[in-house]
Structure 1
Amino acid sequence: MSQPLSHSDPASSLGPFLPHPALAEADPELAALVGAEERLQAETLRMIPSENYVSSAVLEASGTVLQNKYSEGYPGRRYYEGQQVIDQVETLAADRAKAVFGVEHANVQPYSGSPANLAVYLAFAEPGDTVMGMSLPMGGHLTHGWGVSATGRWFRGVQYGVRQDTGLIDFDEVRDLARKERPKVIFCGGTAVPRTIDFAAFAEIAREVDAVLVADIAHIAGLIAGGAHPSPVPHADVVSTTTHKTLRGPRGAMLMSREVHAKAIDKAVFPGLQGGPHNQTTAGIAVALHEAAQPAFRDYAHAVVANAQALAEALLVRGFDLVSGGTDNHLILMDLTPKDVPGKVAAKALDQAGIVVNYNTVPFDPRKPFDPSGIRIGTPSLTSRGLRTEHMATVAEWIDRGVGAAGSGDEETLAKIRSEVAELMAAYPAPGLPTA
């Protein structure tokens, strides 16, 4: 079995991209690391489906003097004075979320996706209650009741999966499980789900067992905002999402719901789990939502899906085994067992070749999670750079060559791919990154 190839430290091998004057003067060591990361993001093909590039406007909003404020509470109901401007910032972000997603209520304070999901449990369940979500190895998320998560330790988590023959959710099995276990909360969505989520089918099951349905759209929020994936809003009681990934905002989260659940959600976020919101992040979310409301964002969302489907087809032609046979969204999950290369080995080799992916379990994976059979790739970042379907055959070729080189330990091929990747990336500058 192949071993991971050597991997140099990017901070030691890359110099600053452009100086950040104040940072460089105060802390040149950290400034150099920031510059190295800028160059790394500029020169590599970033294909982790949960990553993206934010705009310069989002970056600026996220680094403003809003950082200086404490704002415990909600607009008009703060525990600190001096909130005249902060109230307007948060209201603006929440109103934009309601407009973009068509929801009755939006809370933009959660620090990230996991705390947002914890707030859902606090709002609708008691410790020990049964909750239901997709199994982590099948594509679900830790916070959907998986055992090593607090949500699986404080609540009784039961999990559904996918069919081994199709890689798709079997809703007859989901219904049978829900009827048997009677969960208080049902989560739909996940971190490695390459197919359209049937929110209506989940809602029917949730109603039958009187469960609260939570749609976790962290990965697909931007696709929903851009009309490239069906919305859960007509079907789910609560919608949880991060604000980065396909939505192209800062690292934060939102909880959206019907008005009847607004009080429970808000109380769970604050004072239930958090203190003061990160106002600079709220500002970045507001900017991202404004961008998501523009016609160009709709084009972007549809291009993400078109690129992923074109890439999936090109990979299938090259003999790759794709979970569920392809993709409906931004994400492709690949089982490398037929290639006789473990996922971790492939991911590290591709990283050396300038193609950034993550190793990932696949459904019914016989290997351990830290050394799984698959890799997970996506098209949000490369689409943000302007790559289109005509580039996907080249990307598939690079992946094919990189996985082959991983299996044989061919570092020369990996170096050649990295050079080719850097050449293409130079022609498609990334949003938000400084240019030389």
Structure 2
Amino acid sequence: MAATIFVLGIASMVWAVLHRKLKSVWVNGPMIMVVLGGFIGWFIADGSVAFFDSHLALNLAEVTLALLLFVDAVDVRGSIRAQFGPVPLRLLFIALPLSVAMVIALGLSLPLGLSTAAVLAIACISVPADYSPELSIVRDKRIPNQVRRWLSVESGYNDGLVAPLLLGALALASSTHTPGQDVAGALLKAAPAGLLAIVVGGVVGTVIGKVFGVVLRRGWADQQSIRIGIVALPLTTFGLALMVGANGFVAAFVCGIAFRFARGKQWEEERELSFVEDLTSLVNLLLWLAFGIAAITLLSVTYNWWPALILAFFALTLGRFIPVWVSLLGTKVRRRDRLFIATMGPRGAASIVFGLIAFNALPLSQGYPVLAATSMVVLGSLLIHGAGGTFFIKRFYGRPDTASAQPSLGRGDRSD
């Protein structure tokens, strides 16, 4: 354990002091941590399995996801009208459910040997887009502003919408119902806790947002104390939601939305969010380390991985392209922009945490395929959207202009 902590600390410091230099040669934080995690996992494969399948790992994953969901929600820019315009709503409430349904349908129709709960979990893990590993996609100035805004809104909200279904599926892991009943049961089980979570998160986020504004104006608090309070806010909301029987993840997510709008124009983004975003950056790096360990751990297990490979490949390709294309039919979105949005959709931190939670909750015989699917989804996304991101941007929007295409390292860069 001591050696692992030491190596992790050294790797983090190397990334910190060489961040821009490494970035110039296309090396980012996730890449470093995945390689390091693979190195560690190679020597402690048995120990890592025991850790991932433990209550400690489950608790850490849950708290991490609550923090990430909160920051994702707070980090979305623009007015309510801009955030919930026709295109973002179609991406979130047509494309996202359709993607989940297509992965589930494929998983249940093929003889993959997976339980319904495992298929549901893989669908939830493989669908949410997360642009934190590839921020250049939403910062490249060649891409129209409105397209980048749509992608940012989708990335900020989709994991919070999928989380209730994942928890409902895991709660039904021991069910003996038919597949159709399991799917319906997961939805019905997630609904009450999700609705209560919306109330809890909305009330807490609104009240605390207003309170923070009042105490700052009256001089009862300063920027430093408010930054610490913002970090404590999603944890408090998560704990309160669990105490009253609500979905803690949805509550933390809704809290972030409500908190941002409650602060309104008084919001001093750069100062107030700096601490929680730096903390989230570190957490994100640790997640990629865990992913590297998990990926190597799979090599020590003899198993037939082709079911997970099929579902992962489908989710990254047709499972993304078809739903997005269908959801944008009839809109004024240009064909080029529609193709680009349908092609892009990197997976990252949310998929990793979802995978760790599912692995812990399911029996090992089903947990391993879920962990394998998580690894294949994230690795496949790194190849398709990481290496291919620059190609697709160039293909759809032309060559970069040196003066404008280089993205500045701004707020919210949690991954590289």
TM-score (norm 2): 0.26
Which is greater in Rg?
A: 1
Larger RCO: 1 or 2 (CA < 8 Å, sep 6+): 2
Greater strand share, 1 or 2?
Answer: 1
Structure with a larger share of its residues in helix: 2
Structure 1 length-normalised TM: 0.25
